[in-house]
Amino acid sequence: MKKSDTMVTLARVTELISLMPNKLLLKDISEKECRIIWDFLNSHRRLSISNHMLKINFAKELGVFVNDIDDVAGGRPLCEVLTWEAEIEDGTTIITLKEAVSVIQNAYNNENWILPFCHSLSVKEAELIWRWALDYRWSSIRNRMLKWLKKHSQLEHGKYTFEEYMNVIFYNISPAKIVKSSNVKLQTWDNTVTPSKWWFITDCSKMIHVCEGVARNRNGTLNAKYMPLLNGDEDCWVWENPLGTGMWHNEDIELSFSNYKEPITHEWHESQMLLQSYAKGGFLITDENNYYLLTNGTNTLYGQLLSVRNVGHVRVHKAFRGGYEFVIGFSDGGEIVDAATIIMEKLPFDLDVALKRKGLNVKSRLAFHNIEDCLVVKLNHTWSPTDGWHLCFVDIENDMGIDDIDDITDYYAIVGDDGESD
């Protein structure tokens, strides 16, 4: 039976992963569980202390020397040694995956936690969570699910995104459509000549391309909402009207969920005045059968604060600074993914208040604190002689929510594909 529990247990996750790729049937796992497991498998925020420090603390809790652990281990990896302390029968624990992950991520802030944590796990659960925490041969675990996704989607040849696999598996999208379709890249308009046709879009992050029966978001991920409404003959860009009450498209064709929008008839230089009123706005341009995009070139981004930790004094470029490290997330196909970090030497008053309202005390050093719910911040991508190009915190946007967060493609467009601009 499929589970719809809001809190997925570590035991459940362990069971599902152990059955992948060949023994887990589609009817035995829900879409939500798939997403939770995939996020877990691909998480990079793990143990907040070094492996060596973990071993030292483990020895202290056992009342032995580190050398004694090494002698008993006989060359076995630390993650295997830790599983020896598991005491619970398989399938009887009630610890959730979220709780287990939180223990590992906040290891720096805890004392005498290793043995109690080990004793709360079964052997199979311990094997999984410690391999994840210590990143021990983890790619083989991740590949189990990847093989399962390929098998049940029938997308076994080629590189596909997680969302593409999920749309085929859970939304009955034909694999042939995914294989046949491709993402249309928007080229940057250099604005040296007047284009043939243009349309103004108030929020370019919400653009959708429709072609060959497949609807893709601007970042290339599938949009399952509109795909069942397509017949395969359409080829156009679709976007939300300024009022957010409907959709427009740029080719004179019939779409059940969108209306044709005539291109702008004003002079090209007059039309560009619209860019001043919309931070995320831009022009969809067609010229010689190619698509282009012209935006206002703003360096302002809106992201979500995902976590924070007090890093004490750290090296930032060439200088040592104290402060707080924030993980920033942007939208990737409707999901928020961590894409960047910023360092603040001091917490701005409004931000400090917002964190305290969420019950967060960030005085303890190096401990990760997850920021629950959605806290949107305004960021500038700017340059300084000491820091080079970097993201800078501007303000909290209390009136904004998850729908206002910038697309990750906009983030990459500004900072570069590798997050470095210099």
Tokens of 100: 């287990």
238, 203 Cβ separation under 8 angstroms:
no
Per-residue pLDDT band at 383 (split at 50, 70, 90):
low
Query: What is the mean pLDDT of the segment spanning 7-22?
Result: 95
CB count, 10 Å around CB of 142?
16
| More confidently predicted of 360 and 414 | 360
Name residues whose C-beta falls within 8 Å of residue 297's C-beta, 6 or more positions apart in sequence: none
Per-residue pLDDT band at 388 (split at 50, 70, 90):
low
Lowest mean pLDDT segment, chosen from 10-24, 173-187, 380-394: 380-394
pLDDT at position 322, please? Answer: 63
Per-residue pLDDT band at 421 (split at 50, 70, 90):
very low
Beta strands in 345-416 (DSSP E): 369-370, 376-384, 388-396
d(C-alpha 323, C-alpha 342), whole Å: 10
Q: Does residue 337 surpass a pLDDT of 60? A: yes
163, 169 Cβ separation under 8 angstroms:
no
pLDDT at position 65, please? Answer: 96
Q: Which domains, ranges and CATH numbers included, belong to the chain? A: 10-140 (no CATH), 187-295 (no CATH), 300-415 (2.40.50.140)
Q: What digits encode the pLDDT tens for the residues 231-290?
A: 888 999 999 999 989 999 999 999 999 999 999 998 998 888 888 787 678 899 998 888
Query: What is the mean pLDDT of the segment spanning 20-31?
Result: 96
88, 122 Cβ separation under 8 angstroms:
yes
10, 125 Cβ separation under 8 angstroms:
yes
pLDDT at position 2, please? Answer: 39
Helix ranges restricted to H, 106-244 = 114-119, 123-133, 138-153, 162-170, 175-180
Please report, as a single letter, which amino acid is at residue 135. Answer: D
Q: What digits encode the pLDDT tens for the residues 101-155?
A: 999 988 888 889 999 999 999 999 999 999 999 999 999 999 999 999 999 999 9
Helix ranges restricted to H, 346-386 = 349-357
Q: Does residue 298 surpass a pLDDT of 60? A: no
Complete DSSP assignment for 226-294: TGGG--S--EEEEEE-TTSS-EEESSSS-BTTBEE-PPP-S-HHHHGGGGGG-TT-EEEEEETTEEEEE
Closest C-alpha to 195, from 275, 271, 259? 271
Please report, as a single letter, which amino acid is at residue 139. Answer: S
